Structure 1
Amino acid sequence: MTTRIHNKFLIIAAGLLLSMSSCDSILDVTPKGTYTTATYWRSQSDAVNGITGIYNVLLEEDFTGHAEFTFDDPSDDQYRAGDHSEDVAIENLTYDAANAQVRFGWRWKYEMINRANSALMYIPKIEGMDETIKNRCLGEARFLRAFAYWRLLLVYGEAPVVTEEDVAQSNYVKPKVSADSLRGIIQSDLLAAADLLPAKNEGADRGRASKGSAWGLLCKLYMYWDKLDQALIYGEKVLNSGDYNLAPTYVANFTPETSNNDEMLFAVQTSDTWGYSDFTTYYTPREWNGWNFHQPLQSLVDEFEPGDVRKAVSIMSPGDKINIGSGIATYSADMSETGYHFHKFSYWKPNGGLNYSLKTPLLRTADIALLVAEAKIRTQGAGAGDKEINMVRKRTGLNDVSGAGMAAVIHERRCELSGENERHQDLMRWDKAGLIDITTYYNKPKYGKGGNVLVPARTFIRPKHYYFPLPQSEIDRSNGVLIQNENYK
């Protein structure tokens, strides 16, 4: 890893954190001035604020915002739209190591890792800390570090690992490790986090990682690792705990006032009075204060069954009446190239203007329920996952399924998680497992309204396109230490 991570100065304490006069979120912290690691980690409040600084990396546009969600643009769910030339190559599967989108998120993933490393190095040395708070802080650091490595794994497959020992020795120029090594690092952090974290967070601590967050990410890790039995163990821990139930309605997950509910295992925490969420801006029509990116395709719209309440929550369709705060407006097909916009991430203030209080979902219980269903079907046969599939379908207004196989899981995940950066990764995961032929999804054009071709048929090359290349700028800076992924040399 060749981007120099400046551990000497704690960015979290250098006034870059978001702040406000009232304290109603885990992200609130008062800037403390400039500190070094030698002078910062002295008290319990330092530890809590330091952990908050790790969460704040999630607010970066180039991490969980537009840049990361662009990696779903190759899928058959959405069209990139917008005016970013680098996104064209991502969607067309013609990108290379110099693509800006490939580079953008690298820095922030390692920034999160660096901040977590600092916390893990210094919090154990703080005297007089409440043991419960100390454990929670250490668990959060382990979980957030695992999450950053998880995203590196999904995007690049192979990447450098920087540990506390590397930080202590100022050893930041590291070669990459294999995907299996990355999986092992993530597994170790998540298992430790699950032991340290509380079962549930309430009140002002809503939004912090919990045992459910760690168990849920372990379930996903094992699904991608093809360790289905382990995925079942940790997925069922989430489902059987009683602490991480589905929200009573689907729309509750995408309404600012209720989006921090039990189902939200991990989400980006923002409030309209602080913490700008570019995610909302990018997905919203330009006429209504947005930037018009990532538009759903007709094929996704057609996937929803008649009566599925998720369709209206997820998709703006022609003729829909939308409350944009300043009044009720009518959505029309000429507002996008596809004739549709995602609706689930757009919300407006009563006096107009986008409301940034929605908690952007990164991991939900519904996702885990469908992974458990998939693991059961793949290990026990059709029908074994009916309970979990019907758990998700129950709140949609749809009838139960019986004897469901993989086709039902694929359908349900597409509808439940539309626009949440899962579809492209799901398709690649299923292709690797031999469950689908991904080329049949990508070797056809993407059509806009009126049947015009927005994106020509793409050529998905195995195994090259299972991962993106390492950023060329990082390779250049490494002086031969960091080696490009095999398929992009």
Structure 2
Amino acid sequence: MKTKINILVLTAIVLLSAACKKNLDLDQKGVYNTDNYFKNETDGVNAVTGIYNLLEQEDYISHAETTFDVASDDYWRSGDHSEDEAIENLTYDASNAQVRYSWTYKYETVNRSTNAIINIPKIPTMNEAVRSRSMGEAYFMRAFGYWRLMLIYGDVPIISESDFTNKTFNKPKSSVEEVRKQIEADLLKAVDLLPESYGTTDRGRVSKGTALGLLTKLYMYWEKLPQAITTGQRLIDNPKYNLAATYKENFTRANETSTEILFSVQGLQNIVQNDYTIYYIPRAWGGYGFSQPLQGLADEFEANDSRKAATLLSVGDKINIGDGVDDQTFTSSLSSTGFAFRKYAVFYPFGSAEGNGVDHNYAVPLMRSADIYLLVAEARIRTQGAGAGDALINQVRRRASTLLPPVAGAGMTQLIHERRVELAGEGERHQDLMRWDKTGIVNIATIYNRAVSKAPVDQGKTVTFIRPKHYYYPIPQVEIDKAGGVLVQNPNF
């Protein structure tokens, strides 16, 4: 999530990088480290802003996180990255580049967050509301880093404040259970410390609702269903996190004020900077054409479901790619599968003050309230029986279209369908299927074999899921090597 504040930091970094080309002309003003940096409120706020800054990196959130969903039955990886192909086909090993990038950026999130957690309380003069908020942000971001580490790698090292202070970073793995407890502790602190919302100047920072949303997700993956219901309901009952009026507005240039978007990569950006847009849109339109939806996903949408048109570009669809007119036709030559993701195809008008190359505010959603509505509905179904989640599922369906028939007595089949069409392309499908497979709700191997057989073209997608090996990815081999025997590789790798 890049806020407008982040852009000032990014600009400084860009200017510094340019200046480095003439490093003999630099007038060095000082050397900053942990001991001499945290002097005032501005330093504390900027330190937290620097944590958000990491989310702008394509090898952290945008392309990298999408890659960890490409094994699913929703899309073909496309593109020319061999590391993506290996992740899609579940043939990756510990040398995989994407596996390596992911580890590095997530631990950098933990590193920067812990640094802030240790040092912000030491700042002598600071508005206490800003100090509290900043601490809440740091706790959330550390929890988010560990959350993604845990989902991707399973058992991972926990670096505590004392480890950070003592520089004891070479540590053995902690169990998934221990990592979950660490995430929970950080999120509970974040819930207490964060405000419910922000003013225009600080728009995009994580809120109490953001922390409640991730805590709900944690409890669902932990199989703590009653806690998920209680936590998620706190978010659902708060109008500050209501669903947006329409589904498609979550994915437009005007979405920065959406109450539904709980966590996002938000900031001033153009088509060149927005890696989600770059990777999803066709190459002929200036993108890379990665992650192309499969026919099976398109078939999953019901008639009259407006989410299909908002989510997918299909052959024959018209779209405005910057000239103000919906006059560009999506043709079969633009995608090997016949589809692309419309929800991330965000363009800016040419030949105006809003033209491509000019910065615009746009929030790329990382977590939405609709996700939490459906998780609470799932928890209710699984604890109270079919029909217990109907009200929440129908809120999501009614927002999509009043023409969609309401569910009645919905069980897991309907819930699974609803999560697939609501969250398509948002990185949830593969992890959803794996957690349901672990509890015997679905058979992930059967689902993935069916996805291959329905592919409209031969994309070479062969997915053989092996339990328990493929529930987690390997620890990067370079990290194993650096640890000198302290860090042990995951089983089966």
Map 1:2-17 → 2, pairs under 5 A: 17=9
Partner of 1:134: 131
Letter in 2 for 1:17: V
Deviations 1:434-461 (A, max 9, x none): 1011111112453687x33213442211
- Tell me the equivalent position of 1:446: 452
CA offsets per residue over residues 78-131 of structure 1, 9 Å max, x none?
000000011111111111111111111111111111111111111101112111
8 Å contact from structure 1 (residues 71, 90) kept in 2: yes
**Are 1:107 and 2:99 matched, yes or no?**
no
Partner of 2:464: 459
Say if 2:155 and 2:174, in contact at 8 Å, map to a contact too: yes
1:263 CA drift (Å): 0.6
Question: Do the aligned residues in 1 keep the contact of 2:271 with 2:277 (CA within 8 Å)?
Answer: no
Q: Is the alpha carbon distance of 1:113 and 1:33 closer, same or farther for their aligned partners in structure 2, counting shifts above 3 Å?
A: farther
Q: Residues of 1 paired with 2:199 and 2:277: CA distance?
A: 25
- Letter of the aligned partner of 1:350 in structure 2? P
RMSD over aligned CA atoms reads: 2.0
- In structure 2, which of residues 405, 416, 423 is the aligned counterpart of residue 417 of structure 1? 423
Q: Match for 1:481: what amino acid?
A: V
How many residues align? The count is 464
- After TM superposition, the structure 1 stretch with the greater mean CA deviation from structure 2, 197-206 or 230-239, is 197-206
Amino acid at match of 1:333: S
Taking the aligned partners of 1:357 and 1:78, their CA distance within structure 2 comes to 28
Match of 1:392 in 2: 396
Question: Does the 8 Å contact 1:447/1:455 carry over to 2?
Answer: no
Whether the 8 Å CA contact 1:269–1:359 is kept in 2: the answer is yes
Distance 1:32 1:333 in 2: 56
Deviation at 1:69, TM superposition (A): 1.0
Q: Aligned partner of 1:18: which letter?
A: L
Deviations 1:222-276 (A, max 9, x none): 0000000011011101001222000111111001212441111111113226992
Structure 1 residue runs of 4 or more that deviate by more than 6 Å after TM superposition:
none
- The answer to whether the Cα contact below 8 Å between 1:393 and 1:400 also exists between their aligned partners in 2 is yes
Counterpart code for 2:491: E
1:323 is aligned to 320
SS, match of residue 452 in structure 1: coil
Cα pair 1:51 1:116 within 8 Å, conserved: yes
Letter aligned with residue 324 of structure 1: I
Q: 1:444 to 1:408 in 2, by over 3 A?
A: closer
How is 1:8-157 mapped onto 2 (pairs within 5 angstroms)?
A: 17-19=9-11, 34-157=31-154
Structure 1: how far apart are the matches of 2:8 and 2:105? 14
Partner SS for 2:262: strand
Alpha-carbon distance in structure 2 between the residues aligned to 1:141 and 1:194: 12
Q: Does 1:241 align with 2:238?
A: yes
Give % identity.
53
Partner residue, 1:486 = 491
- Superposition deviation, residue 280 in structure 1: 1.4
Q: Which one of the candidate residues 275, 282, 302 is aligned to 2:299? A: 302
Cα contact 2:209–2:235 (8 A) shared by 1: yes
Separation in 2 of the partners of 1:365 and 1:476? Answer: 41
2:310 is paired with a residue whose SS is: helix
1:476 has 2:481 as partner: yes
In the alignment, the residues of structure 2 paired with residue 430 and residue 32 of structure 1 have an alpha-carbon distance, to the nearest angstrom, of 55
Displacement of 1:277 after TM fit?
Answer: 2.2
| C-alpha contact 1:445 1:457 (8 A) present in aligned 2 | no
> Partner of 1:348 in structure 2?
347
Amino acid at match of 2:488: I
Q: Tell me the CA shift for residue 211 of structure 1.
A: 0.8
| 3-state DSSP of counterpart to 2:130 | helix
Shift of 1:296: 0.4
Please state if 1:190 is matched with 2:195.
no
Change (3 A) 1:484 1:32: farther
The one-letter amino acid paired with 1:320 is: D
Runs of at least 5 residues in structure 2 that lack an aligned partner in the other structure = 13-27
Matched residue SS, 1:443:
helix
Residue number in structure 1 paired with 2:17: none
Higher helix share: 2
Q: Which amino acid aligns with 1:248?
A: A
Alpha-carbon distance in structure 2 between the residues aligned to 1:401 and 1:209: 33
- Over 3 Å counting, the alpha-carbon distance change for 1:275 and 1:48 in structure 2 is farther
Give me the whole-angstrom Cα distance separating, in 1, the residues matched to 2:187 and 2:446: 35
1:311 paired to 2:316:
no
1:378 equivalenced with 2:375 (yes/no): no
Q: Is the 8 A contact 1:18 1:274 kept in 2?
A: no
Is it true that 1:366 corresponds to 2:370 in the alignment? yes
SS state of the match for residue 176, structure 1?
Answer: coil
Contact 1:444 1:457 in 2 (8 A): no
Q: Is the 8 A contact 2:452 2:463 kept in 1?
A: no
CA 1:337–1:102: 2 relative to 1, 3 Å: same
Which residue does 2:436 correspond to in 1?
Answer: 430
User: In the alignment, is the contact (CA less than 8 A) between 1:339 and 1:448 conserved in 2?
Assistant: no
Q: Give me the whole-angstrom Cα distance separating, in 2, the residues matched to 1:289 and 1:457.
A: 29
- The question of whether the paired residues in 1 share the 8 Å contact of 2:313 and 2:340 is answered with yes
TM-score by length of 1: 0.91
Deviations along 1:131-182, one digit per CA (max 9) or x if unpaired, are 1110000000000000000000110011111122111111111111110010
Cα distance change, pair 256–345 in 1 and its aligned pair in 2 (3 A)? same
Are 1:332 and 2:337 counterparts? no
Q: How does 1:188-267 map to 2 (within 5 A)?
A: 188-267=185-264
Q: Distance in 2 between matches of 1:342 and 1:273?
A: 18
- Structure 2 counterpart SS, 1:50: helix
Give structure 1 stretches of 5+ with no counterpart.
Answer: 1-12, 21-30
Q: Secondary structure, in 3 states, of the residue corresponding to 1:293? A: coil
Task: Map Cα deviations across residues 355-412 of structure 1 (whole Å, 9 max, x no partner).
Answer: 8743111111000000000000000000000011011011111221111110111000
